[in-house]
Amino acid sequence: MTTIAPIVVERLWPMNLIHVLGELDIGNCSELAGAIERAGEANTGPIIVAFVECTYVDTSGLTTLVEAHRSYGRRLHVVVTPESKIRRMFRATGLDRSLSMHDDFRVALAEASHPLAYG
């Protein structure tokens, strides 16, 4: 039996930081989609989705991110540590080239905060 990842949302006006903890799969990807959608509707600031504490993402989780990218474009930022299994999955699918992907929070926050980040 696997542990479904809780989705934790922090509102750091005007940003929204969404942490995915544990495993992200078909059982909870709708929770992530809802959190991203609520963040996108709440304000026009960046949406940062952090996979720092995530151990697994299946194709439904990847699809959720692709759909969020289609909706929010450059407002959506993803944090994935370079050495993680999740990063390898993003590389294998090409999502690392499509999404605004960052190695750590510091870089993500700096780039997301830049006035020209999502223009």
Per-residue pLDDT of the chain in tens (119 residues, 90 and over written 9): 445 568 888 887 788 999 999 999 999 999 999 999 999 988 788 999 999 999 999 999 999 999 999 999 989 999 999 999 999 999 999 999 999 999 998 888 888 877 555 44
- pTM value? 0.88
Question: Could you tell me the residue ranges of all domains in the chain?
Answer: 7-113
Cα–Cα nearest to 51, from 73, 29, 22, 27 = 22
Residue 20 confidence (pLDDT):
95
Those residues whose C-beta lies under 8 Å from the C-beta of residue 25, and which sit 6 or more positions away, are 2, 4, 56, 57, 58, 60, 61
Q: Which CATH code for domain 7-113?
A: 3.30.750.24
